[in-house]
Structure 1
């Protein structure tokens, strides 16, 4: 069933901020390899009794696996999920500025087959981690990683939920949307200058023409990187943190995961 496009009208002043008790989580790096290249993923798990839990594969933004990645992974691990943060670039390849990040991201956005290969490698590594319920799998990505989450789904990976936070929505091969097996949730800043109106329309057409179950939630006043406090608060730069969009988008993601893995 094709869902309608949703528009969120939550503004910062209207968002009720509430405190929550955070569950304890633990994290460790996990090395894995492909054709001699080493990658360094990050495994974040809830502490508590040993049991099988749903898996979230997390795809980093264009800066690679960073403290921001670990922070977002912990948010989801606190909900009771095993989170494995993929390393798309490779161990030791960590951009130090926007120029380096752009160069790395362009490699994969220009070669979607390689992008998908790296993500499927990470997914297979994640599925081998202890405590993972391989029948309950989602992918969550931010910015560059939001594009990656959609590309992994388009590759035909067995996923129950696909969540993109302020990700690129374009696809060189929209017919690959037919390979998507899970529900897609695209969380988008309505004023994001990096996603054109044409790309937004093409994404919706891709979802609808391939009978993908999806939701597109747009946040007025939000630009790119609205979940990242490190992006600052100046919308004129095209990327900025937005507390309202951050809170509401996380709530949307939490709801989808809860409904999917109940």
Structure 2
């Protein structure tokens, strides 16, 4: 998650990470969280009050993303959803993410995200007055769906956020559009077999029908993960997406 001053933007990563839910009491349950903020002189550091011994386990993109937010005055708290099953070991390029993804459960995911939000709002976590979630793929779906809960978020951002109902019939962001209580920014890939244009269109129409504060942007010709795993190949789309993210964060008061 991310935070500026007493405002926070919370990032869920790609939904492919996690461990024990954060607890305001049990410090041992915070090992899958990392906070990054900017120090004078451009140096970055984890909060001295919330060290993270498992930072090396995170996919490097999330560390860099947190730093980019920090450059813009927004502190980051990143949740490692795979940490529940993968632990803290360094993850190499052959990390079997599909194996660990299959072991994720909605209850655990929402518990981790809710606990992270609660931590940011606590005195120990910085007493943030505004929190915003950001996520990618499954994490994007989670970040958007968080607006349907009781977290009182300033806004939600989902990259290629899988809006349709799940294979098991569980309602997704499209079905829950009327329940989303925070502004929504959805950044979608134009060539994403897992999220076809019809699903994106249905999501945008549902948001409009619900009267939700929303912006849904599709980048033609881009694949799934264009902003993270393939950002160098799709630099223009990634730059535009990042600009929209920063403008959204500032508009909703989380930056």
Relative to the length of structure 2, the TM-score reads 0.69
Q: Which residue of 1 aligns with 2:88?
A: 92
Shift of 1:185: 0.2
Which residue, out of 127, 142, 145, partners 1:151?
145
Secondary structure at the aligned position of 2:191 is classed as coil
Q: Which of residues 246, 249, 253 in structure 2 aligns to 1:254?
A: 246
- Paired residue total: 208
Corresponding residue number in structure 1 for 2:72: 79
Out of 101, 107, 121, the position equivalent to 1:105 is: 101
Displacement after TM superposition at 1:212 (Å): 1.9
The 1:119–1:112 alpha-carbon spacing in structure 2 relative to 1, beyond 3 Å, is: same
Q: 1:152 to 1:117 in 2, by over 3 A?
A: same
Which of 170, 173, 178 is the aligned partner of 2:171? 173
Question: Is contact 2:231-2:238 (8 Å) kept?
Answer: no
Compared CA separation, residues 129 and 195, structure 1 to 2 (3 A): farther
Contact kept, 8 Å, 1:190 with 1:222, in 2: the verdict is yes
Structure 2 residue aligned with 1:117: 111
Name the residue aligned to 2:199.
199
Q: 1:121-177, CA deviations, whole angstroms, 9 ceiling, x for partnerless residues?
A: 222223336573522111111223212211222333211111112332234325543
Structure 2, unaligned stretches of length 5 or more? 1-19, 41-56
What do the CA deviations read for 1:87-124 (whole angstroms, capped 9, x no partner)?
2222427765577212322344xx43432222112222
Distance 1:246 1:122, change over 3 A: same
Please give the secondary structure, in 2, of the residue aligned with 1:103. Answer: helix
Structure 1 length-normalised TM: 0.67
Task: Give the 3-state SS of the residue equivalent to 2:162 in structure 1.
Answer: coil
2: CA distance between counterparts of 1:152 and 1:93? 29
Instruction: Check the 8 A contact 2:135/2:159 in 1, yes or no.
Output: yes
Measured at CA, do residues 181 and 118 of structure 1 come closer, stay the same or move farther in structure 2, by a change above 3 Å?
same
Q: Does the 8 Å contact 2:141/2:162 carry over to 1?
A: yes
How has the CA–CA distance of structure 1 residues 136 and 38 changed in structure 2, closer, same or farther, with 3 Å as cutoff?
A: closer
Structure 1's 120 and 32: CA in aligned 2 closer, same or farther, altered over 3 A?
closer
Tell whether the 8 Å contact from 1:191 to 1:221 is kept in structure 2 after alignment. yes
SS at match of 2:208: helix
Taking structure 1 as reference, are residues 33 and 232 closer, same or farther at Cα in structure 2, changes over 3 Å only? closer
